[in-house]
Structure 1
Amino acid sequence: MKKLGILYNPKLSAALPLARELEAEMRAARAEVWVCSSWEEEMARQQISGTELVFSVGGDGTVLRSARIVAPWPIPILGVNLGRLGFMTELGAEEVRDRLPQVLAGEGWVEARARLGVELLGGRPQELPSALNDVMVGRGATPRVVSIETIIDGQPLTTFVADGLIVATPTGSTAYTLAAGGPIVHPSVEAILLQPLAVHINLKAPLLLPADAVVELLIHSEHSAVLSVDGQVNIEVSSGDRIRVKRSPHHTRFLRLHPPGSYYGRLAQRLCLGQ
Structure 2
Amino acid sequence: MKIAIHGRNFSVQTKPYVQAMFDDLVERQAEVQISHGYHEFLNFAGVAHPFQSTYRTPEELFDADFMLSLGGDGTLLEAVAHVGARQTPIVGINIGRLGFLATVAPTAIKYMLHAIVNGQFTIDERSLVSLQTDKDIFEGIPFALNDFTITRTEMSSMITVHTYLDGQFLNSYWADGLIISTPTGSTGYSLSCGGPVLLPHTNNFIITPISPHNLNVRPMVVMDSCQLSFEVSSRSGNFLVALDSRSRTVDASTRLSVQKADFSARLVKLNDDNFLNTLRSKLNWGFDIRN
After TM superposition, is the score higher than 0.5?
A: yes
Alpha-carbon distance, 1:38 to partner:
6.7
1:254 maps to 267
Deviations 1:4-59 (A, max 9, x none): 111111x3335776444312211211221122257799625355322100110000
Provide runs of 4+ in structure 1 moved above 6 Å: 38-41
1:242 maps to 255
2:279 maps to 267
Deviations 1:195-228 (A, max 9, x none): 0111112652111111111011111111131001
- Where does structure 1 lack aligned partners over 5 or more consecutive residues? none
2:10 maps to 12
CA distance in 2, matches of 1:44, 1:113: 23
On the 8 A contact 2:160/2:173 being kept in 1, the answer is yes
CA distance in 2, matches of 1:207, 1:21: 46
1:183 aligns with 2:199: no
CA distance in 1, matches of 2:37, 2:91: 14
1:68 aligns with 2:81: yes
Deviations 1:125-159 (A, max 9, x none): 64652010001101101251101100110001111
1:87 aligns with 2:100: yes
Kindly tell me: are residues 188 and 181 of structure 1, through their superposed partners in 2, closer, same or farther at Cα, counting changes over 3 Å?
same
Kindly tell me: are residues 116 and 39 of structure 1, through their superposed partners in 2, closer, same or farther at Cα, counting changes over 3 Å?
farther
Deviations 1:162-216 (A, max 9, x none): 0000001000000000010110000010111100111112652111111111011
On the 8 A contact 1:8/1:16 being kept in 2, the answer is no
Aligned residue runs from structure 1 range 72-221, under 5 A? 72-121=85-134, 124=135, 126=137, 128-201=141-214, 203-221=216-234
1:27 corresponds to which letter in structure 2? V
On the 8 A contact 1:6/1:56 being kept in 2, the answer is yes
On the 8 A contact 2:124/2:267 being kept in 1, the answer is yes
Q: Which moved more, 1:104-113 or 1:156-165?
A: 104-113
How many residue pairs end up in the alignment? Answer: 269
Alpha-carbon distance, 1:117 to partner:
0.6
On the 8 A contact 1:226/1:234 being kept in 2, the answer is yes
Kindly tell me: are residues 35 and 20 of structure 1, through their superposed partners in 2, closer, same or farther at Cα, counting changes over 3 Å?
farther
1:226 maps to 240
1:31 aligns with 2:30: yes
Percent of matched pairs sharing the same residue: 25
Q: TM-score, normalised by structure 1?
A: 0.90
Q: Which moved more, 1:124-133 or 1:60-69?
A: 124-133
On the 8 A contact 1:27/1:33 being kept in 2, the answer is no
CA distance in 2, matches of 1:46, 1:188: 29
On the 8 A contact 1:34/1:47 being kept in 2, the answer is no
2:27 corresponds to which letter in structure 1? A
Secondary structure in structure 2 of the residue aligned to 1:249: coil
CA distance in 2, matches of 1:257, 1:38: 28
Alpha-carbon distance, 1:263 to partner:
1.5
2:48 maps to none
- Where does structure 2 lack aligned partners over 5 or more consecutive residues? 40-53
